[in-house]
Amino acid sequence: MSKPALHFSAHEPSAVAEISGDWVLRHVEQLESLSQDAGRSARQPGTLDLHALQRLDTTGALLLLQLLGMPRPEALPQKLNRVSEAHRMILTALAAAICDGDRSRKPADRWLQDLLQRIGMWVVDAAQQLKLLTHFIGVVITTTIRNLLQPWRLRWTSLVFHMEHVGLDAVPIVALLSFLVGSTVAFLGASVLRDFGATIYTPDMVSYAFLREFGTLLPAILLAGRSGSAFTAQIGSMKSNEEIDALKTLGMDPVCVLVMPRVVALLFTLPLLSFIGMLSGLLGGMLVSALVLDISPAAYASRIYNFTDIQHFWVGISKAPVFAFLIGVVGCLEGFKVSGSAESVGQHTTSSVVQSIFLVLTTDAMFAVLFEQLGL
Amino acid sequence: MTDTQQTPAGDPDDAVIRVRDLVNAFGANVVHNGLDLDVRRGEILGVVGGSGSGKSVLLRSIVGLQKIRSGVIELFGEPLGEMLDDSDNLCDLRLGVMFQDGALFSSLTVTENIQLAIKEHYKVGDALLQDLADMKMLLAELPLKAANQYPSELSGGMRKRAGLARALALDPEILFLDEPTAGLDPISAAAIDRLLQTLRDALGLTVFLVTHDLDTLHAICDRVAVLGEGRLITIGTLDEVANFDHPWIKAYFSGPRGRRGQVDRGDTSDTGL
């Protein structure tokens, strides 16, 4: 490999640049500085003498053409002296490609225009997303009602499959997590209650927290991360593979085929998981009470049995179907929004999890106010 | 392989790729069993074969994406295995690969796709980098309007061209193409064929082309290699290969699609098909 070089021969009347060495991508740094030096000296060579040029690739050829001021391919032969056939071929082909190609571009955006445009598009997009979500919720509700009135139209195989994946497979993690949070609540609560000599109220506190809030909220957040994202990824990859379009052309409604089983599976299983979550939370509290607070499991159970209203349970469990619906609808809708690339699947999966957790928590806050006002 | 036939296309003694006794297997499924192949400098070699005959696996083995079970692959006279050990050598391999559907990086624009490898390996100023990317796009006959578009916004033909432009990014000497015309309409496919021939002629590339497209074989391939039964069945000019006595080759060239290819070519010589 020999170094590339460029010499202006002074004795020639019109500027002739003598090119030598390898003009290839490997030497691109030297090539770039050579052409910059030539540009700075404001000497544009009229012709190039190429007899000492050794290897040439498209990078070198582009720089040579730039030295000559991008001549048209017809004008090229008289600008090249002592050129080998192979080098002439590359230079001519490149000049032809560059001159004859479609060089029109989209005009570059200005930054202010760009900023305003992006803000505007963001607002319009947000409004459209909201409209889309409400529309989709409406479609899913009507389809659900129709399906529940005509249960034979529900896809039972698919439903059972999703119930297994969404519900049964999630039991261990829901139980474990609720158990841990239950024992934490009991442990931390007891340390506050101890100051008042009121550790006996620990079971009340755990049961109140778990029956009303945590028992439902923890499984809901878990399912938003576990199943909502899975729904988005499944439906999204089907969308990018045109499988959704294929379903439509075969006369099947994607909402019936794909969304219904998933949403109904969540509607059935989240209340059951909430129940498991409540029990595990109470068990966690029971363990801590027995080990740390000297409240025997029997005393713990009888305390809950005698002093905790059943209405707390109903308040907690009644929220589960609402959370299930939100998680299912957002997960599926984000899947349908996927377009084209695999990257889009990833984006919408993230957005699905964030949105469904956000919706679950805000709805939960609204429920808290609602039940407070109702005096439940 | 004894039936390697000498033809005027390319210099028979100047093999840029030399494959000897290649064995590839996935578990018990033997794909290549003693495959020999020479690719000559400056030729366009079309590789054909039935589904599962290991065309793509051969391509992947030569570019080092597939770990071979045994055998020797030499590129420019040097064994491939030693070159792959040092990652610095990889960009010296002077290979460009165009994958079947482009395999463009979906989060990058066309320009960024082309610039990525140049930026990674060389220090180049922004202006020149832009000029280089434009030049590769124009070489691949891609309008510069597409420069700032993402792969998902391009049509199938444009994606192939963008894939080709990216394959040319590091100025390779050997270009590997996996079914460059698959999924294109005949007019776009013919345009790609013509483009490949132009690039080969202008840049002196060696082209290794895996294809099913008889029109491509007729239009641009100097030689055709037929893979089957884990080895090279035959290699030679299209006429030589078409006359080779082998059931798969007979079925391939004399099927309804094969005949049409001959008609399109306006071939008047009696090839005995």
Q: Does residue B244 have a pLDDT over 80?
A: yes
Q: What CATH number has the domain bearing residue A82?
A: 3.30.750.24
Given a contact cutoff of 8 angstroms between Cβ atoms, the answer to whether B208 and B73 are in contact is no
Chain centroid to CA B251: how far? 24
What was the pLDDT predicted at B111? 92
Are A144 and A228 part of one and the same domain? yes
What was the pLDDT predicted at B8? 44
* Interface contact B122, partner A, CB < 8 A: yes
Give every residue of chain A whose pLDDT is below 50, as ranges. none
Are A226 and A344 part of one and the same domain? yes
Contacts of B138 in chain A (CB under 8 A): 97-98, 101, 103
Contacts of A58 in chain B (CB under 8 A): 135-136, 139, 168, 171, 203
Are A202 and A327 part of one and the same domain? yes
Residue A105 lies in a domain: no
What was the pLDDT predicted at B91? 54
pLDDT digits over B13-53, tens only? 788 888 998 998 888 888 888 889 999 998 999 999 888 88
Residue A375 lies in a domain: no
Cβ contact A32–B171 (<8 Å): no
Are A145 and A264 part of one and the same domain? yes
Return the domain boundaries, chain B. Answer: 106-163
What was the pLDDT predicted at B268? 43
> What is the domain count for chain A?
2
Choosing among A1, A23, A24, A26, which should be mutated to test the B contact, i.e. which has the most B CBs within 10 A? A26
| HEC letters along A306-371 | HHCCHHHHHHHHHHHHHHHHHHHHHHHHHHHHCCCCHHHHHHHHHHHHHHHHHHHHHHHHHHHHHH
A144: Cβ contacts below 8 Å, ≥ 6 apart: A260, A263, A264
What was the pLDDT predicted at A245? 87
What was the pLDDT predicted at A218? 95
What was the pLDDT predicted at A11? 55
Q: Which helix (H) or strand (E) holds B20?
A: strand B15-26
Are A34 and A182 part of one and the same domain? no
Strands A47-56 and A80-81: parallel
Total residue count of chain A as it appears in this document? 376
Q: Is A306 exposed, middle or buried (0-12, 13-18, 19+ CB in 10 A)?
A: exposed
What was the pLDDT predicted at A319? 95
pLDDT over 90 percentage in chain B:
15
ipTM higher than threshold 0.90: no
Are A246 and A280 part of one and the same domain? yes
Are A87 and A198 part of one and the same domain? no
pLDDT band at B183 (very low <50, low <70, confident <90, very high): confident
Higher pLDDT, B163 or A109: B163
Higher pLDDT, B230 or A165: A165
Choosing among A341, A344, A345, A348, which should be mutated to test the B contact, i.e. which has the most B CBs within 10 A? A341
Residue A138 lies in a domain: yes
Where in the sequence is the domain holding A37, given as residue range(s)?
Answer: 5-100
Are A266 and A143 part of one and the same domain? yes
- Mean pLDDT, rounded, for B75-91: 67
B159: Cβ contacts below 8 Å, ≥ 6 apart: B101, B102, B104, B151
Q: What is the CA radius of gyration of chain B?
A: 19
Most confident range, picked from A171-180, B114-123, B208-217, B263-272: A171-180
Nearest CA in chain B to A91: B202
Are A128 and A25 part of one and the same domain? no
Sign of CA dihedral A74, A80, A82, A88: negative
Q: Does residue B272 have a pLDDT over 80?
A: no
Are A282 and A348 part of one and the same domain? yes
Backbone angles phi, psi at A76, to 5 degrees: -70, -45
Are A156 and A49 part of one and the same domain? no
Q: Does residue B271 have a pLDDT over 60?
A: no
